[in-house]
Chain A
C-alpha cells in the first residue's frame, strides 16, 4: 500500500510541474532579440508568417498569409500611409476625369523591377487583365469588377479587349470604371492590383514559386524561400525609394502555434508575436500588448427561412438580449470595441465625421425590451412555446466561449434554452451558405476601405448574405450609393441602408475586430492597417 501512495504522489508531482512553473514564468520579460542582428551589423527583422504562403503570385494568394508578406515585395500604383490614406507609389500622380470614371495614372520614371528593368504601364495592364482573366482563376477577381468590362471578361461573357484598362504609353495607364469610385486610389494599393513583370511571367509561368525566379518591384526582394519552413526578404536596391527602407533583411518563420510563437518571442527568436488566448488579460494589464483596429465585424446571422426567426420581433429580442460590452470585457478580453452597428470604425465622411459615430448605436442591450419583443413576436406567430433554437459555430475555442456566453444570456434574459452545436469549418461554411443553419456565428473582414464593402453584403442574393433576408428598399439604397458621386449624399444613403438593416435585424453584431500583438521595444515603424496588409517599408530596428 505504501508503494501505491508513492506512485500516486509521483504522478501528482509530475503533473504539478505544470502549475508551479507557469506562475513563475508568466512574469518574466519579453525578449530582446536584436543581439544577433547587431553582431552581424545587419538590420534583420524576425517575423512569423504563421504558415506557408498560398502563393506570391498577386492574383492567386488571396489571404493574409500571402498578402502580408507580398505587400512588401511588390508595390502598386499607390501605397497606404500611416493614416491609411493612399499615397503615390509607383504612380507619381493621377488624374480623374470629370465624370469620375476615368483615372489616368502616371508612373514614376525611376520605378524598376528587382532585375533592373523599368516598371511600365504595360506591366500594369497585363497584370490587371490577368487578374480578371477567367483562366487565371483568381479568387480576388471580383475586385477587378470595378473596371469597365472586367466582370464580363471574368464571367466569360466579354473579351479581354473590352476590359477598359490601357497602357497609353510606357509610363501612362488609363483605366475606366463601371461607375465613379471615390476610393479607387486606395483600392489599387491592394495586392490584387500589383503589377507583374510581363516578360518574366510570359516566359515562365512558374516564376513565382521559387526565390531565384521571383521578380518584384517593392521595397524588398525575395532572396530565399525554403517552402514550409521559412523565407527571407532582403532590401531591394532597385526600389525607387530604397533610401527610405531601413531594414536590410526580414526573416519570416512559419510557426502555426500561437503558444510556440509567444515562447519564441520571449526567447528573442521573434520580434513580434500574437497573444495567446489566456494571456491577453495579463499582457494588457502589464501594458505589453498593443492594439490596432481591424476593419471587420464579428456577428451572428439569423436564418429567416427557419422558425422562429422569420419573425422580426423575435430576431430583435435575440439581438437585444446580448450584452456586447460584457462579452468584450469578460470573455474575449482582447480590448475589442463592442459593436452596435455593422460598419466598423475608421471611415471618414466628407465633413470628417466617422461613419460609425455618425451612424450611432443601431442595436442596444435592453433586457426588458428584449423580453417584451419576444412575447410580442410569439404572439404574432401564435407560439405557446418557442421552437427549438440551435446556435451553430465553427470549432474554435474563441467561438465556443462566445457561444457559451450567449447561451447563458438567453437563458437569463429571455428564459430561452438555446442548444449549441459546433461544426468543422468547411462543413459549417457549406451549411451556412445553403441556409441550413438556424442561427450561426459569422464574421466579415473588409476587402477595401469603404463602408459600402460592408453594406453590399446584404443585398438580395449576394454571396455574403447567407440569411435569406431580402429587401428591395435596401438593394435600391446600395445601388444608389454605388452610383452617387457626391460624397455627402453617398454617406447619407449608406447610413440609411445600415439603419434599414437593423430595422429588420437579419444579423446582430458582437464586436469589431482588432489586431493585438506583442512587439519588441527595438522595433519601430511597422504599420498595421485596419484594411490592408502589413507595411514594413518604414520599419526599423535598433
Chain B
C-alpha cells in the first residue's frame, strides 16, 4: 500500500505553515499559492500520466473525426440507396449500411457531432450550475441550505417527461432545446454531491483558517473546498457525458432533438436494438462502440485530472 505520493504533503505542509505572517490582511491571503502555478502543476502531473494522456488524445481524435469523418467518404449521411440496405462492412462501406442503404461510416461521424456536442455541453453546464449551487448551499448551511435543498427535491419530484413535452411544445425542436432539456434537471445530481462534500469539508482547518483571514464565500469555495472535492465532481462529470448521449436519444423520441435523417449515436443505438435479433450487428456495434470509447476516454482523463487537481497530491 505504500503510495509514494503520500509522503509529499507531510513534508510540504510545515514549510507552508511556518512562513512568517505579514501584517496586512491582503498579504495574509497570499498564503495560497498563485493559481497559475496550481494549474501549471496540475497540467504537468497530468501530462506525465500516460493513460490519461491517451484518453485526451482519443477525445481529440474523436472530435477530429466528427469534423472530417463525414467528408472523407463519397457518400452523404442522408443519401439512400434502397436496394443496398443492411450491407455488412466492406471496402465500399467501411461500417456497412443501414436499413435504408445509407453509409454507416458517414452517419456515425455525422452523429458524433451531435452526441459529442451534447455530451460536452451537458457536462459543462451541469458542472457550472451544480458546483455553484451545491457549493453555495453547502457552504452557507442552515436555512439557506434547507431551502435550496427543497428546491432540488421539487425538481427531482416533477415528472421529467411532462416537463420535456411542454418544453418541446413551447420551444420547438432543436439543439438548443435539447441542451435546456438536459440541463434543466441534470445539474441536480452534481449539486447534491458538491453540497455533501462541502458540508463535510467546511469545518476542516484550512477552511477555518481561510475564513478567519476574511476570505469571501466564493473564494473559500473556489480555493479551499472545490480542489478538495474534485474526485467525486470529476466522476460525476464523466458520468454525465454518456447519460447525456442517451438522454438525447430519448429526447429525440419525443421530437425534441435534431430531426431525421440526421441521427446521433444514441438514436442509432436505439434504432439498432432489434438488430441483435436480425444479425445486422454493425448497425448497433459502431455507435455503441464509439459511445463506449468516448466514455472510456473521459474516464481515464477524469482519473488523471482527479490526481492532478487534488491539492493533497501536489508536488
Binding site for B on A (CB under 8 A): 1, 3-4, 7-8, 11-12, 15-16, 18-20, 22-23, 25-26, 258-259, 262-263, 276-279, 282, 326, 329-331, 395, 397, 400-401, 403-405, 407-408, 419-424, 427
Contacts and interface: CB of A to CB of B under 8 A. Distances in A.
Contacts of A326: 82
B80 A405 contact: yes
Interface string B249-282: 0001111000111000000000101111111111
State the 7 A-B residue pairs at the shortest beta-carbon distance, nearest first. Answer: A19-B281, A330-B82, A278-B278, A23-B279, A22-B279, A278-B274, A423-B255
B85 interface: yes
Given A4-B54, A8-B296, A18-B285, A278 B100 contact: no
Interface stretch (B15-23, B165-173, B193-201, B307-315): B165-173
B277 A22 contact: yes
Interface stretch (B2-10, B143-151, B216-224, B287-295): B287-295
17 contacts: A15-B288, A19-B282, A19-B285, A22-B276, A22-B277, A23-B281, A331-B82, A331-B99, A331-B100, A395-B255, A401-B100, A403-B260, A404-B261, A405-B82, A407-B78, A408-B78, A421-B173
A11 B285 CA distance: 11
Nearest to A408: B80
A405 B288 CA distance: 25
A495 B54 CA distance: 71
Given A22-B275, A22-B281, A330 B255 contact: no
A424 B83 contact: no
A93 to B, nearest CB: 50
A259 B279 contact: no
A1 B54 contact: yes
B275 A278 contact: yes
B125 interface: no
B interface majority secondary structure: helix
Nearest to A23: B279
A420 B78 CA distance: 12
Contact of B165 (A20, A22, A424): A424
B184 interface: no
Given A4-B54, A407-B261, A427-B168, 9 more contacts: A8-B293, A18-B281, A23-B281, A262-B277, A276-B274, A277-B274, A395-B253, A408-B80, A427-B169
Q: Secondary structure at chain A's binding surface: helix, strand, loop or mixed?
A: helix
A15 B289 contact: yes
Nearest to B283: A278
Interface of B: 50-51, 54, 78-80, 82-83, 85, 99-101, 165, 168-169, 173, 252-255, 259-261, 271, 273-282, 284-285, 288-289, 292-293, 296
Contacts of A400: 260
A412 to B, nearest CB: 9
A420 B261 contact: yes
Contact of A11 (B168, B169, B271, B292): B292
A408 B253 CA distance: 21
A18 B100 CA distance: 21
A7 B259 contact: no
A276 B254 CA distance: 22
Nearest to A279: B278
B261 A279 contact: no
Contacts of B288: 15, 18
Nearest to B282: A19
Contacts of A7: 296
A12 B290 CA distance: 10
Contacts of B51: 3-4
A96 to B, nearest CB: 50
A11 B296 contact: yes
Given A4-B51, A7-B296, A22-B276, A15 B285 contact: yes
A279 B100 contact: no
A420 B260 contact: yes
Contacts of A8: 293, 296
Contacts of A263: 277
A390 to B, nearest CB: 9
Contacts of B271: 397
A279 B274 contact: yes
A278 B99 contact: yes
Contacts of B284: 18
A330 B173 CA distance: 29
A282 to B, nearest CB: 6
A262 B278 CA distance: 12
A424 B278 contact: no
B289 A276 contact: no
Contacts of A3: 51
Given A8-B296, A15-B292, A422-B259, A282 B50 contact: no
A397 B165 CA distance: 19
Nearest to A426: B165
B55 to A, nearest CB: 9
A277 B271 CA distance: 10
B276 to A, nearest CB: 5
A415 B54 CA distance: 46
Contacts of A259: 273-274, 276-277
A146 to B, nearest CB: 38
Contact of B278 (A12, A22, A408): A22
Contacts of A19: 279, 281-282, 285
Instruction: Name the residue in B101, B254, B279, B289 with the highest tally of chain A Cβ atoms < 10 Å from its Cβ.
Output: B279
Contact of B254 (A20, A408, A420, A424): A424
A259 B275 CA distance: 10
